[in-house]
Amino acid sequence: DAGITQSPRHKVTETGTPVTLRCHQTENHRYMYWYRQDPGHGLRLIHYSYGVKDTDKGEVSDGYSVSRSKTEDFLLTLESATSSQTSVYFCAIRTGGGSSYEQYFGPGTRLTVT
Amino acid sequence: GQNIDQPTEMTATEGAIVQINCTYQTSGFNGLFWYQQHAGEAPTFLSYNVLDGLEEKGRFSSFLSRSKGYSYLLLKELQMKDSASYLCAVERTARQLTFGSGTQLTVLP
């Protein structure tokens, strides 16, 4: 599992409330990613990070922000949750390099916005 | 833009061989991943192809043709536990992955 944990694993929140999801890794990997997975859309990249305080947007970044103040933690924040953000959120890390690298996923967070 | 196509569903029999195809059109290409995902679980890494050709890992093999924008995942000696969704993903130049919608494989006894 490459030492990736996510918290919380499940959360129910109301529309308009802020929500922060945490991804934690124990192996000092440089690249970290946040995805969401929805039926019919597959996995879509929200934001990614290539180092402490270095982040960039993915294809579905609207309504989300991220922060990475330490190598091991990558936070995803929904400033004001909406029902369209009900989804399963996966964190991932990238290991290796060149022609031999892998991307491992955390266990996921199931978020429901009511 | 990006477009990744793979069949939505496939069915095969235990002990058989199945090939799951993936075609892609992307702006920028570094490599292609295959993942396995069981219902309610996280995707599990299967393979990463950068160069053209076949990569074999036990019962699973993955093929890539960069010139044709085509890959396939070959699963041999199918087992019931291989019933899962198989995800094809293209890595673009910014170290970002774009995923296909996945192929749901059902293995029948």
- CB atoms under 10 Å from CB of B95, counted, come to 16
Q: How far apart are CA B63 and CA A65, in angstroms?
A: 37
* Confidence (pLDDT) at B66: 95
Report chain B residues whose CB lies below 8 A from the CB of A40.
101
pLDDT, tens digit, 9 for 90 and up, residues B16-35: 999 999 999 988 888 999 99
Q: How far apart are CA A70 and CA A63, in angstroms?
A: 23
* Confidence (pLDDT) at B85: 97
- CB atoms under 10 Å from CB of A85, counted, come to 19
Partner-chain residue, chosen from B42, B96, B100, that has the shortest CB–CB distance to A106: B42
Mutate to test the interface with B, among A34, A44, A45, A88 (most CBs of B within 10 A): A45
A39: Cβ contacts below 8 Å, ≥ 6 apart? none
Q: How far apart are CA A3 and CA A83, in angstroms?
A: 31
Please report which residue ranges of B1-109 form alpha helices under DSSP H.
none
Report chain B residues whose CB lies below 8 A from the CB of A36.
none
* Confidence (pLDDT) at A98: 61
pLDDT, tens digit, 9 for 90 and up, residues B58-102: 999 999 999 999 999 999 999 999 999 999 999 887 678 899 999
Are A43 and B87 in contact (CB < 8 Å)?
yes
Q: Do you know the residue count of chain B?
A: 109
Is the preceding peptide bond at A18 cis, omega within 30 degrees of 0?
A: no
Partner-chain residue, chosen from B41, B45, B100, that has the shortest CB–CB distance to A103: B45
Task: Decide: helix, strand or coil at residue A85.
Answer: helix
Are A94 and B95 in contact (CB < 8 Å)?
yes
Q: What angle do CA B47, B53, B54 make, to 5 degrees?
A: 50
* Confidence (pLDDT) at A24: 97
Q: How far apart are CA B79 and CA B72, in angstroms?
A: 19
Q: How far apart are CA B99 and CA B73, in angstroms?
A: 15
Q: How far apart are CA A103 and CA A95, in angstroms?
A: 6
Of A22, A48, A17, nearest in space to A35 by CA: A48
Partner-chain residue, chosen from A58, A99, A104, that has the shortest CB–CB distance to B96: A58
pLDDT, tens digit, 9 for 90 and up, residues A59-112: 899 999 999 999 999 999 999 999 999 999 999 998 876 666 788 999 999 999
Q: How far apart are CA A37 and CA B37, in angstroms?
A: 12
Report chain B residues whose CB lies below 8 A from the CB of A60.
none
* Confidence (pLDDT) at A99: 60
* Confidence (pLDDT) at B24: 96
Q: How far apart are CA B61 and CA A76, in angstroms?
A: 35
pLDDT, tens digit, 9 for 90 and up, residues A19-71: 999 999 998 899 999 999 998 788 999 999 999 999 999 989 999 999 999 99
- pLDDT at residue B1 tops 60: no
Partner-chain residue, chosen from A42, A48, A104, that has the shortest CB–CB distance to B99: A42
Q: Any chain B CB within 8 A of the CB of A18?
A: no
B83-92 b/e with 16+ CB inside 10 Å = b?
A: bbbbbbbbbb
Report chain A residues whose CB lies below 8 A from the CB of B97.
33, 43, 45, 103
Task: Decide: helix, strand or coil at residue A83.
Answer: helix
Q: Any chain B CB within 8 A of the CB of A107?
A: yes
